Structure formats: C-alpha cells, structure tokens
Amino acid sequence: MAVHLRLRAGRALRATHSSDVQFTFGNWGQGDFTGAAPADLPTAKALSAKMVDSFAAFAQHGTPAPRALPDWPAFTPRDRACLSLDVEPRLVRDRLADARREAWDGVDPFAVC
C-alpha cells in the first residue's frame, strides 16, 4: 500500500499487522491501538473506498474487481496475478519473480542433503 500510516511520533509504518483495518472498513478518526493516522487523509479515504468496493464486489459477485478496478483474474502458479490496491490500482503479474529467483541462486536442486 502506497498510503503509509504514521505513528503520532512521526515514524512511518509499513505493512504491519492490522494496518489494513482502517482501509478495509473506512473507520477513520476512530483511533486504534497503534495511534496511527494516515499522512494524507483524503488519499487514504479514496484508497479505502476502492478497498471497500472490492470486498463488496467479491461478496456480491464472487469477483473482487468492481468496474473502478482493473480486471483481476484468478491466481495461478504460472501467471501469479495480484491486484495492487494503491492510489492508482493496477494488476501486477508475478511481482516477486526476481526475489524468488534470487532465493534459489547457488542452490543445486540435484545435490543430496
């Protein structure tokens, strides 16, 4: 998520546990246990609306891509399609390919452990 939350002390939060809750339910200003607030509330609310629409579309139609979001095909091991819910949502295919290849660098699959 490109809309980072900031602790009241000014430190940025990244993908922390439950940081998506405010975006998922649109409950801004309710306060939470982290004391986090979005650095840009209008942008955060716009992203939140897209997330809420996505969950509602999934509940209603079985697909999490309402008209305002790109088509999101089912995930397959070959294609690895992921929807990046960002200020400008986009479909990303196999976004971790480089990291996955790097993890296997130097590993001999035929070596006996």
Reported as a single tens digit per residue, the pLDDT across 22-33 is 788 877 665 554
The length of the chain is: 113
Q: Please list the residues that pair with 91 across neighbouring strands.
A: 83
pLDDT of the residue at 30: 56
Query: Whole-number mean pLDDT of the chain?
Result: 75
- Give the residue ranges of the chain where pLDDT is below 70: 1-16, 28-39, 112-113
pLDDT of the residue at 1: 39
pTM of this prediction? 0.62
pLDDT of the residue at 12: 58
pLDDT of the residue at 14: 60
Query: What six digits make up the tokens of 19?
Result: 């940081």
Q: Are 57 and 63 in contact (CB under 8 A)?
A: yes
pLDDT of the residue at 3: 47
